Amino acid sequence: MSGSDSGKPLKPATRLVRGGRRKEWTGPVVNPPVWRASTHLYDKDADRHAAGGNNADGQFFYGRRGAPTQWALAEALTQIEPGAYGTQLYPSGVAAIAGCMFSVLKPGDRLLMADNAYDPSRSMATGLLTRMGVTTTFFDPRDLDAYAALFADPVKAVWLENPGSLTFEVCDIPALAAIAREHGAVSMVDNTWASPLGFAALKHGCDIVMMSLSKHVGGHSDLMMGSASAGKRWYTALRRTAQELGQVVAPDDAALAARGLRTMGLRLEAQTRSALKIAEWLAAQPQVAEVLCPMLPSAPGHALWARDFTGGCGLFAFVLASDDPQASARVADALELFGIGYSWGGFESLVLPITPKTYRSLMSCPTGGRPALRLSIGLEDADDLIADLAQALAQAG
């Protein structure tokens, strides 16, 4: 179902609905059934030998290689990721990050990591990768000259995130990826914020694109899962490494993720509209020093965002004008429609007091020393959320 009956390419919304729903996987129903199976049976031993040599989705072999429930989700994700040959699934977003790293890096290699990457990515670089003999250099993804100079010594891979975690700086992915490719390095990007619906990472020059499916794809705060998509060369490496590590996702979780995927486009559109309305309102409040949202025309990286992105999401942050370090906690505690918690991308709104400077090595932090909060805007009415924020901001001091 990657094409259409007329031969014309399908639009993203149509691919979200149709992707992965092969007749041989769904049978007479709409969704692929949940195949809970560790053992796959064969009519003859010759069939078992033949299956062992066909390591592809769609070939029954053993539960670790999945069954129609997982295959359908992986195929649907591939079909919405322009330029992808295949998609590998992982039991969490962090597992997907590790899967990307282990598929590309080996002891003695050097990794460049954007300084505003997700904290678990940074922790993996300074912890697990260091222990396996990989050296990591952090860099400011907005400074192309300084970044290019880092390739004076050999670099195996680059890890990017766009926009940056917590502080939402936008970088020039095509330029960064082109410099990496010129020096023979592999570009990997965490594209959880925008998803392929908002940013086509592979088409913009990256070699591997990773997502936490726990966020937008799941969409209901009830599953943990990650994915990585790539062209044939790196998809083959991702699949081989995942199988060697015994990575597999539960069929029930795969069914939940596939269910969420069908409505992801509509949810993203609604959450983006509300987020932009709320961000604009926050920017006008005296208790707010700055709103960190690349969708705002006033944001420093908005021109790059407008050039490269086709959509956004409900995640952004804002800095309070107060110098009281406890102000962000008071605001969070006063909110009634926002839950305090990690993760984001679900149907419900969340708030999280943040201290981004804790997770930076060299980039200046736009929050400075002031308290800040990250918001994940859900599907509630935007006016209700604004009213809730208005009463909570009165607690900022």
Active-site residue 64, yes or no? yes
> Active site residue: 65, 142, 215, 370, which one?
215
> Active site residue: 36, 64, 106, 233, which one?
64
Active-site residue 215, yes or no? yes
Active-site residue 232, yes or no? no
> Active site residue: 15, 21, 118, 156, which one?
118
Tally Cβ neighbours within 10 Å of residue 252: 12
Specify the residue for token string 């993996």: 124
Handedness of CA 309, 311, 315, 317 (dihedral sign): positive
Q: DSSP for 188-229, please give it.
A: EEE-TTTHHHH--TTTTT-SEEEEETTTTTT-SS----EEEE
Sequence-ordered alpha helix ranges (H) in 53-152: 68-79, 93-104, 119-126, 128-131, 144-149
Here the tokens at position 345 are 């991308």
**Would you give the distance in Å from CA 326 to the centre of its chain?**
30
> Active site residue: 57, 109, 190, 308, which one?
190
Name the E strands within 252-322. Answer: 288-292, 315-320
What separation in angstroms does the CA of 37 have from each of 15, 41, 64, 247, 303? 28, 10, 9, 15, 49
Active-site residue list: 64, 118, 190, 215
